[in-house]
């Protein structure tokens, strides 16, 4: 690739004229839901009927994961149709009725919250509230074709930077944009680049953190599967800005589709001269290699990640020195996560002023969230910073299933905290989340309803941290284990007076003394639940009861005589014969013999059994 003119020539060449373009969501979520048979059926029909006017392509995650497999049809007029929960039979119907006969299959189209089927995803209430920057190409292009990325302004930012900007101008532009790191702490991206650029050394590195380890998080995976070239382009821009010629993407080995598409994207970029030597005919050279992570949560911490790339056990290092001065292989290094980098090309192309208009005063732009848990519209969203949790859950997320009440939302994964209902209207940005005891984190958002026990939730996240601790520093290795033992004691009905105070003392000690950010934030789920749900802890300790009916050691099952019809199904399914009675008369449960398995509760068809 010698010039921007050559890039624009390629951009023009790839524009196709087809009567229909069909996109099939083939990210992990789509494939898991059954997209492969759908794609096979569409290919078969196109081949058998010799439909040369059809442009069939795979694409990444469209965002509405709960409705996968998804097929989107674009006609020559530019009209877009979003078909959801498609199987092979529905795919055949769509081809026959919509493509061949010209009549859309309205019964398969996406529906809004009112269950009224509408034309496409853009018209849904949830999508209208989103602004897609990092996810701009996900679900819109074939991630395995570099030409499609170029058609959507791909590598234009890199060409602009290399042809008309000095490295310090690039850094100033990123600084002026206000972009903060999307991986957790929210450190200003331009400032990180500035420090690395100022470091004097014969070699510097650019690293991408794609080691997405938070439970329920899949934002980075979706970007890598749906738009890998945006990350390569951003890393090359970062390399030019700090004076680096080598980049590394550290990606989880559990992401095979992302790894495959990244390798393909790197190969294509090298073939086009967009990676390698003398990019755009300049004296700038930059290459990228992949490094696969084995799934260690601690390798999401920047120094542990770099240690792992070096081929050593992934453990954090004391700071200072900071990576900008002494990072990978002891050389100046910048590390940005996938979402941060995905914003860079757009900021270069549209300018910092454009980006500044989105978000809040101290948190510019948008944030991608993987929304899961007790919510109707699970999936991937991108919202402007400053949107409230209420809007996310009820307008975009479609509310809580079965009419249940919202209880809390966990942001930031094991490093974050629970946001209770009283803070539903707090604008979501870096500083506000910290102020209410949580954090942005990488973008996992798990919603909980009235049936969730917050002590159990704290135990779950802390248990994850204990399992994933690298063990290097005693505060994390020993302290979190002691905290987990206290939580297990409380949920098992053996809590004692003073246990809450012990938990708090341990938590604050770990926050002060742990070596890395992951250890320092490990107590956050416990501290946030203690802050907002201390009554639940007290109920477990002093009343020996779980208000949400989750902790089985604190539960008893009872049969309501007025509802019991004497069918005996509960007694027949009880594994320890703790239920007795006579057919057609109310049965009883012996709570001394009951092992709290809940089988009777699940099997009763008349709602006669309740737990307390």
For residues 228 and 256, what is the distance between their CA atoms, to the nearest angstrom? 13
Q: What is the pLDDT of residue 2?
A: 65
Q: What is the per-residue pLDDT for 115? A: 61
- Residues 25 and 70 sit within 8 Å (Cβ to Cβ): yes
Local structure of residue 281 (DSSP, 8 states): G
> Which pLDDT belongs to residue 530?
96
What is this structure's pTM?
Answer: 0.92
Q: What is the DSSP letter of 347?
A: H
Separation of alpha carbons 571 and 587, rounded Å: 8
Tokens of 94: 């769509």
Confidence at residue 41, expressed as pLDDT on a 0 to 100 scale: 97
Terminal Cα distance for the chain, rounded: 70
Q: Which of 1, 340, 283, 339 is nearest to 159 (CA)?
A: 1
DSSP state of 218: -
Phi, psi (deg, nearest 5) at residue 425 = -100, 15
Q: Which residue has the tokens 């390399």?
A: 239
The predicted-structure confidence for 187-238, as pLDDT tens digits, reads as follows 999 999 999 999 999 999 999 999 988 888 899 999 999 999 999 999 999 9
Using alpha carbons, select from 199, 148, 426 the residue that is nearest to residue 330.
199
* pLDDT attached to residue 16: 59
User: How confident is residue 5, by pLDDT bands cut at 50, 70 and 90?
Assistant: confident
Nearest to 243 by CA among 302, 284, 287: 284
Whether the pLDDT of residue 391 is over 60: the answer is yes
Nearest CA among 342, 392, 397 for reference residue 365? 342
pLDDT of residue 258: 97
What is the average pLDDT across 288-294? 95
State the residue for tokens 């949400």. Answer: 548
d(CA 292, CA 400) in angstroms, rounded, equals 37
């Amino acid at each position: 690739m010698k010039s921007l003119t050559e890039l624009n020539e390629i951009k023009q060449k790839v524009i196709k004229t087809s009567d229909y373009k069909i996109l099939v969501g083939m990210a992990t979520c789509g494939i898991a839901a059954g997209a492969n048979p759908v794609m096979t059926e569409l290919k078969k029909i196109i081949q058998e009927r010799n439909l040369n006017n059809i442009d069939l392509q795979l694409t990444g995650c469209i965002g509405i994961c709960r409705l996968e497999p998804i097929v989107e049809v674009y006609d020559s007029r530019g009209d877009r149709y979003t078909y959801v929960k498609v199987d092979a039979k529905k795919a055949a119907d769509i081809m026959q009725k919509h493509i061949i006969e010209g009549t859309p299959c309205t019964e398969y189209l996406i529906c809004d919250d009112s269950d009224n089927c509408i034309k496409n995803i853009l018209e849904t209430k949830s999508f209208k509230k989103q602004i897609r920057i990092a996810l701009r190409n996900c679900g819109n292009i074939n991630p395995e074709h570099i030409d499609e990325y170029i058609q959507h302004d791909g590598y234009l930012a890199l060409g602009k930077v290399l042809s008309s900007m000095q490295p310090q101008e690039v850094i100033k532009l990123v600084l002026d944009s206000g972009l903060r790191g999307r991986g957790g702490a929210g450190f200003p991206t331009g400032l990180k680049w500035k420090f690395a650029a100022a470091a004097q050394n014969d070699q510097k590195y650019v690293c991408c953190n794609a080691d997405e380890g938070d439970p329920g998080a899949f934002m980075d995976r979706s970007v890598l599967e749906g738009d890998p070239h945006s990350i390569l382009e951003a890393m090359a821009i970062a390399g030019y800005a700090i004076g680096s010629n080598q980049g590394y993407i550290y990606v989880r080995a559990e992401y095979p589709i992302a790894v495959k598409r990244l390798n393909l994207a790197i190969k294509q970029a090298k073939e086009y001269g967009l990676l390698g030597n003398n990019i755009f005919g300049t004296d700038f050279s930059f290459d990228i290699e992949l490094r696969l992570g084995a799934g260690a949560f601690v390798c999401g911490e920047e120094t542990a990640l770099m240690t792992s790339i070096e081929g050593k056990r992934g453990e954090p290092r004391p700071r200072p020195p900071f990576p900008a001065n002494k990072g990978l292989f002891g050389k100046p290094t910048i590390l940005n996560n996938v979402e941060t980098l995905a914003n860079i090309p757009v900021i270069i192309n549209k300018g910092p002023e454009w980006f500044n208009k989105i978000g809040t005063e101290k948190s510019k732009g948008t944030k991608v969230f993987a929304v899961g848990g007790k919510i109707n519209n699970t999936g991937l969203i991108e919202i402007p910073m400053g949107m409230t949790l209420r809007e996310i859950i009820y307008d975009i997320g479609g509310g809580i299933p079965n009419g249940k009440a919202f209880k809390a939302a966990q942001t930031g994964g094991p490093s974050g905290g629970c946001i209770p209902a009283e803070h539903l209207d707090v604008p979501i940005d870096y500083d506000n989340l910290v102020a209410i005891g949580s954090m942005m984190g990488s973008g996992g958002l798990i919603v909980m309803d009235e049936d969730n026990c917050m002590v159990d939730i704290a135990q779950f996240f802390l248990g994850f941290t204990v399992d994933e601790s690298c063990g290097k520093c005693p505060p994390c290795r020993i302290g979190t284990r002691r905290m987990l033992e206290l939580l297990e004691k409380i949920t098992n009905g053996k809590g004692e007076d003073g246990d809450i105070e012990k938990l708090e003392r341990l938590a604050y000690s770990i926050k002060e003394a742990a070596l890395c950010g992951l250890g320092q934030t490990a107590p956050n789920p416990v501290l946030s639940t203690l802050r907002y749900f201390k009554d639940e802890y007290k109920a477990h300790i002093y009343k020996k009861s779980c208000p949400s009916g989750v902790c089985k050691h604190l539960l008893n099952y009872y049969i309501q005589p007025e509802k019991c019809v004497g069918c005996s199904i509960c007694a027949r399914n009880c594994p320890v014969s703790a239920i007795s009675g006579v057919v057609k008369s109310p049965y009883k449960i012996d709570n001394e013999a009951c092992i709290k398995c809940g089988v009777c509760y699940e099997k009763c068809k008349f709602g006669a059994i309740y737990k307390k």
